[in-house]
Amino acid sequence: MRFNRTHNIDEIKLDMIGQKVILGGWVEDLRKLGKMTFLTIRDVTGIAQVIVKGELNAQIENLNRQSVLRISGTIQGTKAKDFDYEVNAEKIEVLAKAIHPLPIDPLGRLESNIDTRLNSRAIDMRNQKTASIFKLRHHVLSSIRKTLIEKKFIEINTPKIIGSASEGGANLFSLDYFGKTAYLAQSPQLYKEQMTIGLERVFEIASFYRAEKSHTGRHLAEFTSVDIEAAFMDYTDVMSILESLILDVYKFTSINCKEEQKIIGHEIKVRSSPFERITYSNVFDEVKAAGVKLEFGDDLLDSHLRIVGEKHPGFYFITDWPLKLKPFYTREKDDDPSLSRSFDLQYGYLELSSGGTRLHDSEVLKSRLREQGLDPAQFVDHLKAFDWGMPPHAGWGLGLERLMMTLTGIDNVREVILYPRDPDRLTP
């Protein structure tokens, strides 16, 4: 049996009337009218109407929707209002039969809740809205890579099974590694910093793991992080890179993902620059002014960020955070060492990214580890590299799923990752 096709559905044009084609795809609908069946078949590029006549009908007798067919036929004009042409079938091969009923209706006419859809993700992907989210995600990734490569960043892959924590001790998944305890990486932080020695500008796009028991619409136990690290840069430099990356993603997808936006039902609006930059101190004042009890140096909770997000609905940076709120590798400000050269990128209340300038002196780094209650002995391998010519450097990590939430206007992160992992979900 042969499986190949001559055309994708979107390759069929009106000037091909009279031409023979072989299509392959999934039965979306079957309507029998006397001795004729109107069949619609969908592949990843589009949908086509097929006319099945006479004895050929026996081939599709009792066939359920979502079965897989290979159809040979001739392109002809049509009276149907939803199609420009139709295919007059000459041969039909059933390549796979689908059951009835399916666990969910892939056409979305019968709505299913998100848990039922996630439990049947493969068939959920035949829903055009779901498929459009992941086609959009693909374009977002390709835009991100394009921007970073143009800015001379080199793509790397760091280990996900690691021997000690990268972001301090909390929120680590541990596992047995040939009789030793290993951990799943929370971020590529230490490795990406070390790679600035040899490669100067690096980026990674990969899954990372956080053992947080968070039941929110924005936390995952396994999320996708876009990370960069760059030698000879300060936090303001990497903020500019992040800003232009976001602007590029918005521009690229607004132009190249028209169909996806239509199906998702959310228009991607090109953003203007520069993004507003507000200091932690300004944000502190705004939250206090709203009547909230807060001490300078307190972390900003979700409830605080919701207040700030109301005033600043789009993208904005919160800069110069109190040093004690930021990870041990963060560099202090020269004029006020209680503050740090750091930032978060926000979209309203939602944190999309954090980053900063890093310490690059091993002695300072060791004392900072101690100040934060961490043991420098746990970081020997990392600290060694700081004596091998560590350049000043800065970087950030951006949550890809959270960026997808801003692009789709969907407020549940589980919609924008294939098989979400959260405290209640480990399968499928």
Query: In the range 376-395, which residues lie near ligand AMO by CB under 6 A?
Result: 395
Q: What count of Cα atoms within 13 Å lies in the side-chain half-sphere of residue 399?
A: 25
d(CA 417, CA 130): 10
Are the CB atoms for 189 and 210 separated by under 8 Å? no
Q: In terms of CB distance, is 219 or 425 closer to ligand AMO?
A: 219
Contact window for ligand AMO (CB under 6 A) among 61-69, 148-156, 219-227, 276-284: 219-227
**Residue 134 Cβ vs ligand AMO, minimum distance, rounded to whole Å:** 17
Among residues 195, 352, 365, 383, which is the contact residue for ligand AMO, using CB under 6 A? 352
* Options 399, 406, 408, 414; binder of ligand AMO; rule CB under 6 A: 399
* Contact between 322 and ligand AMO per CB under 6 A: no
Site for ligand AMO in 138-177 (CB under 6 A): 167
420 binds ligand AMO (CB under 6 A): no
Work out which of 42, 366, 382, 402 binds ligand AMO, going by CB under 6 A.
402
Smallest Cα–Cα separation from 63: which of 106, 97, 107? 97
The SS3 call for residue 79 is coil
Q: Is 126 in the site for ligand AMO (CB under 6 A)?
A: no
397 lies in the binding site for ligand AMO (CB under 6 A): yes
Q: Least Å distance between CB 16 and ligand AMO?
A: 46
Q: Which of 128, 147, 187, 357 binds ligand AMO (CB under 6 A)?
A: 187
Distance CA 56, CA 50 (A): 12
Give the interface segment with ligand AMO, choosing from 194-202, 218-226, 273-281, 376-384 (CB under 6 A).
218-226
Question: Which helix (H) or strand (E) covers residue 252, if one does?
Answer: helix 235-256
DSSP-assigned letters across all residues of 14-63: GGGTT-EEEEEEEEEEEEEETTEEEEEEEETTEEEEEEEEGGGGGGGTTP
Distance (Å, whole) CA 136 – CA 256: 9
- Verify binding: residue 194, ligand AMO, rule CB under 6 A: no
Report if residue 233 touches ligand AMO, rule: CB under 6 A.
no
For ligand AMO, which is the closer residue by CB, 77 or 391? 391
Q: Which range of residues in 107-115, 130-138, 267-275, 352-360 is near ligand AMO by CB under 6 A?
A: 352-360
> What does the DSSP 8-state code read for residue 330?
B
For the bound state, the minimum distance from the C-beta of residue 212 to ligand AMO, rounded and expressed in Å, comes to 5
- Considering beta carbons, is residue 28 or 193 the nearer one to ligand AMO? 193
In the bound complex, which residue of the shown chain has the CB atom lying closest to ligand AMO?
Answer: 399
Q: If DSSP states are collapsed to H, E and C, what string results for 209-238?
A: ECCCCCCCCCCCCEEEEEEEEEECCCHHHH
Q: What are phi and psi of 120, to 5 degrees?
A: -130, 50
Contacts of 58 (CB under 8 A, 6+ apart): none
Q: Is 24 in the site for ligand AMO (CB under 6 A)?
A: no
| Contact flag: residue 196 with ligand AMO (CB under 6 A) | no
Q: Measure the N-to-C terminal CA separation of the chain; round to a whole number of Å.
A: 32
**Least distance (Å) from ligand AMO to the CB of residue 329?**
8
Nearer to ligand AMO by C-beta: 320 or 401? 401
Partnered with residue 338 across adjacent β-strands are none
Neighbours of 411 (CB within 10 A): 10
349 is a contact residue toward ligand AMO (CB under 6 A): no
* Member of 73, 396, 406, 407 binding ligand AMO (CB under 6 A): 396
> What letter does residue 59 receive in the DSSP assignment?
G
The answer to whether the CB of 330 falls within 8 A of the CB of 323 is: yes
For residue 289, the one-letter residue type is A
Q: Which is nearer to ligand AMO, 247 or 398 (CB)?
A: 398
* Strand 161-162, strand 174-177: pairing: unpaired
Q: Does 225 bind ligand AMO (CB under 6 A)?
A: yes
Peptide bond into 428 cis (omega under 30): yes
87 exposure class (CB count in 10 Å sphere: 0-12, 13-18, 19+): buried
List residues binding ligand AMO (CB under 6 A).
167, 187, 189, 210, 212, 219-220, 223, 225, 227, 351-356, 395-397, 399, 401-402
